[in-house]
Amino acid sequence: MSLAKRMTDLDTFLAYSVALEEEAADRHDELADVMDVHNNPEVAGTFRKLAHYSRLHAQEIRDHARGANLPVIAPWDFGWETMEGPETADPGDVNYLMNTAQALKIAMGNERRAHDFYFDISEGSPDEDVRALAGEFAEEEKEHLELLEKWQAKIPESEEEVMFDPDPAHTPE
């Protein structure tokens, strides 16, 4: 059964949505820490901002759910169609030499997957209220994607920039 078909009530859908945003925020923070440690403060700042936005979105969803009794779902029981939540960045995609444009490209991929997740539910959930709210969330994710595209258009770096380290970590001593 697809994830959309399993969204049979609003509380379950909101529990998934909160988890999706919180996991995305935690991953963005984790990537920001990685960039801090590897002396890439600009990209660290980008990931930190992205974490902040994910947290704001999570809070928005929690506000929406106020008074509701959201089910507690074990991490492995979400049954995401990807290994982690759809908005969670793949840690294997980052490099300590990456620039802001490359970080934003990852973020845009996350937003696209989140949009598709909500869109699928807006089409496939058996519950009318869930379909309506998922449609709203899908629109929000689309707006986030457009904001990221505008952000990327304003920065001087290119996502095509070659990452080069004259003294890479894996040089044998």
Q: Applying CB under 8 A, does 83 fall inside the site for other proteins? A: yes
Q: Determine if 38 is a binding residue for other proteins (CB under 8 A).
A: yes
Only one of the segments 3-11, 59-67, 84-92, 111-119 lies at the binding site for other proteins (rule: CB under 8 A); that segment is: 84-92
The owner of tokens 């490099």 is: 95
Q: Does 75 bind other proteins (CB under 8 A)?
A: yes
* From candidates 9, 30, 127, 159, binder to other proteins by CB under 8 A: 30
Q: What are phi and psi of 53, to 5 degrees?
A: -65, -40
What's the gap between Cα 101 and its chain centre?
16
Give the C-alpha separation, 157 to 172, whole Å: 31
How far apart are the C-alpha atoms of 130 and 110, rounded to whole Å? 22
Residues of this chain, 113-142, that bind other proteins according to CB under 8 A: none
> Is residue 34 a contact residue for other proteins (CB under 8 A)?
yes
When computed from its CA atoms, the radius of gyration of the chain, rounded to whole angstroms, is 18
When the beta carbons of 12 and 95 are compared against other proteins, the nearer one is 95
159 touches other proteins by CB under 8 A: no
**CA gap 100, 153 in Å, rounded:** 11
What character string, x for contact with other proteins (CB under 8 A) and - otherwise, covers 7-26? Answer: -------------------x
Question: How big is the chain, counted in residues?
Answer: 173
CB 152 within 8 Å of CB 104: yes
**Contacting positions for other proteins (CB under 8 A):** 26, 30-31, 33-38, 74-76, 78, 80, 83-84, 91-96, 169-173
